[in-house]
Amino acid sequence: MTTALHVLLLLGLLGAFDTLYYHEWRLKLPETLTARRELRLHAARDFAYAIVFGSLAWITWNGSWVWPLAAILLFEVVVTLTDFIEEDRTRKLPAGERVMHALMGIVYGVFLTLLYPYAVHWSRLESGFSVTGYGVVSWVLTVFAAGVFASGVRDLSAGRRH
């Protein structure tokens, strides 16, 4: 599981760079009137990641609880694909941002591949949550969860403001 979480950490770092550099600094999406729907999609995805980062840092989703986790992970894919369409509809992406999105998609796929055997194992356990921990990795994921939640609040607020 540690390898899956290390890949999740990499995804978090890439996502933070994408958000801070492209969305906030270079393109100023929260100030862009045409980005209303895109910001709402980003907020939805941010809240999903807050759950993923925060929960996988400290618990396992056992038994039938694997299905809500799978739904959250699938939700992220649907939101991301919808976001790709929205971005193409409303703005020209810088080449670096397009590459960043491709890299994040690849890393997310690697993460899901590494998580899958654990999810299968968890599905065979009694339903509920088990407490776990991965030392520093858990704490960094917790910080990422708080950061992505705050980013989601900001994006949702900016999207409603427009």
Give the pLDDT of the chain (162 residues) as one tens digit per residue: 999 999 999 999 999 999 999 988 988 888 887 788 999 999 999 999 999 999 999 999 999 999 999 999 999 999 999 999 999 898 888 999 999 999 999 999 999 999 999 999 999 999 999 999 999 999 999 999 999 999 999 999 987 876
In the DSSP assignment, the letter for residue 64 is: G
Strand partners, 60: 130
The amino acid sitting at 27 is: L
Contacts of 11 (CB under 8 A, 6+ apart): 104, 107, 108, 111
Contacts of 58 (CB under 8 A, 6+ apart): 131, 132, 133, 138, 142
User: Would you state the structure tokens that stand for residue 41, as one six-digit string?
Assistant: 């999609």
pTM of the entire predicted model: 0.92
